[in-house]
A and B are shown apart, each in its own frame.
Chain A
Amino acid sequence: MSIFVDKKTRVMVQGITGREGQFHTRQCIAYGTKVVAGVTPGKGGQEMDGIPVFNTVQEAVDRTGADCSLIFVPPAYAAEAVMESADCGVRIVVAITEGIPVLDMMKVKNYLKGKPVRLIGPNCPGIITPGECKVGIMPGPIHKPGGPIGVISRSGTLTYEVVHQLTKKGIGQTTCIGIGGDPINGTTFIECLDAFENDPATKGMVMVGEIGGSSEEDASAFIEKHVTKPIVGFIAGLTAPPGRRMGHAGAIISGGSGTAKAKIVAMEKSGIHVCRDLGAFGAFCAKVFGYA
């Protein structure tokens, strides 16, 4: 079992003919993902490694039955790429693009409300159900199929670090989701936690947050009421100075809120096991999840 994507997921890549799009499409296919279509306006009719390329998302969906979209479109056009997919009935939209204007994302977020579509990202590594389906840019081999841990993170490479340490301790993953480092994003910690709580194969969760915003605090309040499975947490940015944007557009302490300390306090209060030493993260998880 897994959440959101599995071996039946039919993936279409928006921006498949670009440098990044091409490289990562090949990586996804090599991992075993069913990539069924690509979309690049003006390049309809061409093929990329045998995958048909279409001018519009609607055409790609109609002809191939794609139900999941992976977006590598540049920032200026990424918001409309998300809306195009949503309009065409795509079930899951994974937006890798970094640097989308905040106002564009605010419009997208409001536009998607009430529609039967799930947006993951933007500015994220994507989502992977190890051994079944990789929809993103994460290195496949660091993952261990079969579960029982679900991983949710606002970061990219920090997620790889955490997953790598889990795998080295023999702890597999059901699904790993990067929800993205932007201030306005699609799927939230809460939605992922809820899905993992209801996934019988998932026995525990890892939640990786960072400074900025209040999504970790919101998640903690949710966990207190609705989550029974054990959770290990980590927060990056204890040493980050206030008022500075730490790489991710969303990683900024503003007006004294969004600090790592406040997040850790809220998480521990809700029963999350917060690990402070990233170097010992794997060992910490092994203990909490009963592998030690």
Chain B
Amino acid sequence: MKIHEYQAKELFRKNGIPVPEGGVAFNSDEALRIAEGLGGFPVVVKAQIHAGGRGKGGGVRLAKSMDEVRNLSNEMIGMKLITHQTGPEGKQVKKVLVEQGLGILKELYLGVIPDRSTANLVLMASEAGGMDIETVAAQTPEKIIKAFINPLAGIHSYHCRRIAYGLHFSSSLIKPLSDMLTRLYRLFVDYDCSLVEINPLVITRDDRLMALDAKINFDDNALFRHPDIDGYRDLDEEDPLEIEASRFNLNYINLDGNIGNMVNGAGLAMATMDLIKLAGGEPANFLDVGGGASAEMVENGFRIILTDQKVKGVLINIFGGILRCDVLAEGVVQAARKTGITVPVVVRMEGTNVEAGRKILSDSGLDLITAIDLKDAAKKVAELVS
């Protein structure tokens, strides 16, 4: 799960990681009130959306007076912000973060992520702050300093020293940095994060360390033990069909194509999308109804696909294991009766109780196209898209 910068900074503040003074505003009146409380200029106005690259798209601006705070926040709230992460359609800005501007001496990068191959947490730092860390990693990997931390042993001062000396820190800043790294690591572990990133971390002209930006992602698997984090979820940032699907515990992702598909199992779902592409079509979604899906889940999944206006045809691909074919067939029939089928639907079933499943479909009187195997299904989808 992703959260906004202002929410991440709230968590930073709570956990003793220094961030600039400021607050979130939903309109220009609120922005002015926050700016007044900051007691000086410049003031930074930052658009709050779940995407990086905001600065380049005009989502981070400096205000030198109250008038500018009003104008900038008025301009920004309601605008479509387009960055390299939002796609060409952009994202609507609904709130801004209003913060004190700082005198900056140096920009750095700091991040904590899990390392899949060593099962350790990695503290990453770089003097190339403010840049996209992936670009730094690709072009100048030697500029990234890493400390691997075994989660069973936790963070120790030698990890921090490795980072501090690697960043060529002066002695006055080594202790504040170690303190920040330790708090950052603990925050990662305490809240089950999947990413904590400060880009840039700045050294101010008065020699303080400050998180100028803040990004936190959470491990979806661990949200059950952090009910407080759930309140940070922002439905405005999510696709309406994806919100609907999440209500039924369905793994659904809305995509750009026109062939809807419903599959059991994530790997087979991805492979089915690939198959649609191979046949010359474009998948309209990813939908994994899960290995242990009920007829109700199948019904809701199918309904969500059918209500998607861009869908011109549907491929249902089920390999019955835990999810039996007869259960699937009942769900399909229910959804078709309730929602009505207006586009061609190809069904391919295999595995547990396949005969019973096929019988339910053929007895239903619904206009479904059955495929005998995956190859046949791909051929029929190809006809559908041509």
**Shortest distance in angstroms between A63's beta carbon and chain B's nearest beta carbon?**
30
**Shortest distance in angstroms between A113's beta carbon and chain B's nearest beta carbon?**
9
- Closest residue to A163 on the B side, CB-wise? B319
Central interface residue in B133, B221, B277, B283, by most chain A CB within 10 Å: B221
B291 touches A156 (CB 8 A): yes
B288 touches A247 (CB 8 A): yes
Alpha-carbon separation in the docked complex, A154 to B351 (Å): 19
A154 touches B267 (CB 8 A): yes
A236 touches B274 (CB 8 A): yes
Inter-chain CB contacts under 8 Å: number: 183
For A106, give its contact among B119, B267, B375 (CB under 8 Å). Answer: B119
Q: B59 in the interface, Cβ–Cβ < 8 Å?
A: no
Knowing A107-B151, A109-B119, A183-B116, the reply to whether A160 touches B319 (Cβ < 8 A) is yes
Alpha-carbon separation in the docked complex, A117 to B52 (Å): 43
Q: A241 in the interface, Cβ–Cβ < 8 Å?
A: yes
Knowing A139-B352, A184-B114, A239-B283, the reply to whether A208 touches B321 (Cβ < 8 A) is no
For A102, give its contact among B221, B263, B319, B351 (CB under 8 Å). Answer: B221
Knowing A137-B322, A251-B266, the reply to whether A106 touches B278 (Cβ < 8 A) is no
- Closest residue to B289 on the A side, CB-wise? A247
Q: B374 in the interface, Cβ–Cβ < 8 Å?
A: yes
Q: A129 in the interface, Cβ–Cβ < 8 Å?
A: no
Interface string of B113-138 (1 = CB under 8 A from A): 01011011100000000000110011
Alpha-carbon separation in the docked complex, A227 to B373 (Å): 33
Knowing A101-B219, A137-B321, A247-B288, the reply to whether A157 touches B264 (Cβ < 8 A) is yes
Alpha-carbon separation in the docked complex, A268 to B255 (Å): 29
**Shortest distance in angstroms between A98's beta carbon and chain B's nearest beta carbon?**
8
B119 touches A184 (CB 8 A): yes
Q: Is the interface of B mostly helix, strand, loop or mixed?
A: mixed
Q: A256 in the interface, Cβ–Cβ < 8 Å?
A: yes
Q: B273 in the interface, Cβ–Cβ < 8 Å?
A: yes
B286 touches A247 (CB 8 A): yes
A157 touches B321 (CB 8 A): yes
Central interface residue in B85, B263, B265, B286, by most chain A CB within 10 Å: B265
A246 touches B270 (CB 8 A): yes
Q: A278 in the interface, Cβ–Cβ < 8 Å?
A: yes
**Shortest distance in angstroms between A158's beta carbon and chain B's nearest beta carbon?**
3
A158 touches B265 (CB 8 A): yes
- Closest residue to A24 on the B side, CB-wise? B322
B270 touches A75 (CB 8 A): no
B270 touches A279 (CB 8 A): no
In this complex, how many residues of chain B approach chain A with their Cβ under 8 Å: the count is 59
B220 touches A158 (CB 8 A): no
Q: B269 in the interface, Cβ–Cβ < 8 Å?
A: yes
A155 touches B268 (CB 8 A): yes
Q: Which residues of A contact B85 (CB under 8 A)?
A: 243
B266 touches A248 (CB 8 A): yes
Knowing A110-B150, A137-B321, the reply to whether A184 touches B116 (Cβ < 8 A) is yes
Interface string of A67-92 (1 = CB under 8 A from B): 00000000110000000000000000
Q: Which residues of A contact B235 (CB under 8 A)?
A: none
Q: A171 in the interface, Cβ–Cβ < 8 Å?
A: no
Q: B158 in the interface, Cβ–Cβ < 8 Å?
A: no
A161 touches B268 (CB 8 A): yes
**Shortest distance in angstroms between A274's beta carbon and chain B's nearest beta carbon?**
13
Q: B350 in the interface, Cβ–Cβ < 8 Å?
A: yes
- Closest residue to B51 on the A side, CB-wise? A243
Knowing A139-B351, A239-B274, A279-B373, the reply to whether A102 touches B114 (Cβ < 8 A) is yes
B114 touches A256 (CB 8 A): no
Alpha-carbon separation in the docked complex, A280 to B266 (Å): 20
A110 touches B116 (CB 8 A): no
A237 touches B265 (CB 8 A): no
Alpha-carbon separation in the docked complex, A241 to B283 (Å): 11
Q: Which residues of B contact A239 (CB under 8 A)?
A: 255, 270, 273-274, 276-277, 282-283
A183 touches B267 (CB 8 A): no
**Shortest distance in angstroms between A177's beta carbon and chain B's nearest beta carbon?**
14
Q: Which residues of A contact B152 (CB under 8 A)?
A: 107, 110-111
- Closest residue to A241 on the B side, CB-wise? B255
Alpha-carbon separation in the docked complex, A241 to B87 (Å): 11
Q: Which residues of B contact A260 (CB under 8 A)?
A: 274
Q: A210 in the interface, Cβ–Cβ < 8 Å?
A: yes
A-B CB contact pairs (8 Å), 7 listed: A101-B219, A110-B120, A139-B352, A154-B267, A155-B267, A161-B374, A279-B377
* Closest 4 A/B residue pairs (Cβ): A155-B267, A247-B266, A157-B265, A158-B267
B-binding residues in A (CB < 8 A):
20, 75-76, 98-107, 109-111, 125, 137-139, 142, 153-161, 164-165, 181, 183-184, 208, 210-211, 213-215, 218, 234, 236-241, 243-251, 255-256, 260, 276-280
